[in-house]
Chains A and B, each alone.
Chain A
């Protein structure tokens, strides 16, 4: 299907008009996109006292545009990446990973129009899938037409990748395997590891034309572990200085561990600066005595007003159970390919059943002084809805207050009712 066949919308603009075609100017369309950026800008302004946070937001805001521009200019190879699992491998292949989740995050209402009108995605579908699919489509003339995905993420996303493949995008799918039980036969574990190793090697061939150099991969694994250790230290320091880096900025810091915003050295420098600022004696941001520390569990959410509301109403997210796995790195005692495979099949955040995640969530409560858990998912994701119920019930039975929030991946400010829930939850725990 060509763009010319797309129906004209009510406002007279065809979807082709909306496509981010050709130009090199940053794609900035739609009121809602402005809202997203407004939240980021406001958060940056809130951190006027911190040069490191301000520098950090430079990385956040320039990430995708810079990666696309470098690829177009031929100065830095880049490819899209689903999830945050592949960044050491991408960098070992001299390829900048562009996180596909970020494109949805920076999407606009136009993206949902494309998903519904062009791809005929039902309105009830997961809002994350619609936003990602639509926004990528709108950017396809100006962006890198290559995408590596992991089939363990979720089935609706897998469908979206196939739709993009049909549009001419070079989609490479890494096949996954279920995490073996701890009681599993070691031979079975070896089989699964071997399978994943082959998949990863194939991914590296897709990225650079030949398998990644093992030494280089080992170096990238070490870099990842080194950065992660610093981020962990930041998270722990933040527990007693919870508003120095506000919740939204912290969420982005964690997201950065998955791709370093395309600039590994700059990202690590910013992390070092943040660490230095937090460790400087007396560098404490005032916060209410009855501040409520919370665990955030589930999708990261792109309704940035949610994070702002938590902070503004006397709370702070100090512990995180999101796709960004900050609690553990890669094993350095194993050969790099095996280490990578081991990391994937023993994951505790993105794959496996919701019951498997419970221990991971629980481990964060005490060290980060959390008083309650926010379970967050996207409208239209029935799987996550059930996960939230199972997990929330588990913790409620243990006497830990929880709240299940359902937000939209589509951009724009959160609904008043969603904010009421959050404020009321913080009020309930603060009094």
Chain B
């Protein structure tokens, strides 16, 4: 796609022409973005067991999609859960945390981004961003509890006989949101089973689960406070039910972006790769 179809208008001028790749190996999904002058290429796949193998497959797909040769790629930045295992002999590579990459990615997806809620497969984060530079100002991360993560929603979708990608949409069809009081996945699972037995509509349970999960995220967010404009990133960001629940509980709208914010980490990694290549960043 053209850069203008993906990147915030105010940020297009900040991109370099150098082809770079950002690879974000998450706990569930692996994403990659190739920034190539006037074009942005994206690919996504399930994270495999071998992070390097997954990354190699993503790079091959990007090269095929863009028509570029491997030798054209000036720099790669790896991020995400599987970043530690990433490396290339023939392309300069840096490893950067997903926190920095999501901040930079959101900065290029929405020029005024000040705050990010990132909900991934195994953890959730709140990040405050410098709107002038895209750099991280503060962050907080929850990895102690599965509630408020994609893994939690995956488990609940299974219990409700929904596909994961339809769970959020079904939640929006709720007539009366079920109350889920547990903040713990194990107990919440028991509650869901009890509600099912009592004949509560699946849609109502789905809505209740999203709010229970969003409450958890809100508590996390409150530790650092969020300033508008807020961007929602990570694998769960496509879930409309979660977006609605977060907006309700936080009391502020989540900004729309042109590109799917699942790619925010990989896009940020590709932008940071350009900065490394240009010498704007040194390690």
Contacts and interface: CB of A to CB of B under 8 A. Distances in A.
Contact of B97 (A289, A290, A415, A424): A424
Interface residues of B, number: 20
A389 B277 CA distance: 39
Contacts of B282: 288-290
Contacts of A428: 99-100, 135-139
Contacts of B100: 424, 427-428, 431
Nearest to A421: B141
Contacts of A289: 282
B96 interface: yes
Contact of A427 (B99, B122, B123, B138): B99
Contacts, number: 41
A312 to B, nearest CB: 10
Q: Which of A290, A401, A416, A420 neighbours the largest number of chain B CB atoms within 10 Å of its CB?
A: A420
Interface of B: 81, 84, 96-100, 122-123, 133, 135-139, 141, 143, 281-283
Interface SS, B side: loop
Contacts of B122: 417
Nearest to B136: A428
Nearest to A426: B97
A241 to B, nearest CB: 20
A31 B136 CA distance: 37
Contacts of A288: 282-283
A271 B136 CA distance: 39
A139 interface: no
Contacts of B96: 427
Please name the 4 residue pairs, one residue from A and one from B, whose CB atoms are nearest each other, closest first: A424-B99, A417-B143, A424-B97, A428-B136
Given A427-B97, A428-B100, A417 B84 contact: no
Given A420-B99, A424-B100, 6 more contacts: A288-B282, A290-B282, A416-B84, A420-B141, A427-B97, A428-B136
Contact of A423 (B81, B97, B281): B97
Nearest to A430: B283
24 contacts: A288-B282, A289-B282, A314-B283, A415-B143, A416-B81, A416-B84, A417-B123, A417-B141, A420-B97, A420-B98, A420-B99, A420-B141, A423-B97, A424-B139, A427-B96, A427-B97, A427-B100, A428-B99, A428-B100, A428-B135, A428-B136, A428-B137, A428-B138, A431-B135
B116 to A, nearest CB: 12
Nearest to A431: B135
A239 B205 CA distance: 57
Contacts of B136: 424, 427-428
A288 B100 CA distance: 19
Contacts of A290: 282
Nearest to A427: B100
A420 B98 CA distance: 8
A431 B122 CA distance: 27
A128 to B, nearest CB: 18
A290 B280 CA distance: 12
A423 B141 CA distance: 13
Contacts of A401: 138
Contacts of A424: 97, 99-100, 136, 139
Interface in A298-355: 314
B7 to A, nearest CB: 21
Nearest to A403: B139
A292 B139 CA distance: 17
B81 A431 contact: no
A427 B127 CA distance: 13
A1 B96 CA distance: 52
B156 to A, nearest CB: 22
Interface in A130-175: none
Contacts of B135: 428, 431
A423 B94 CA distance: 13
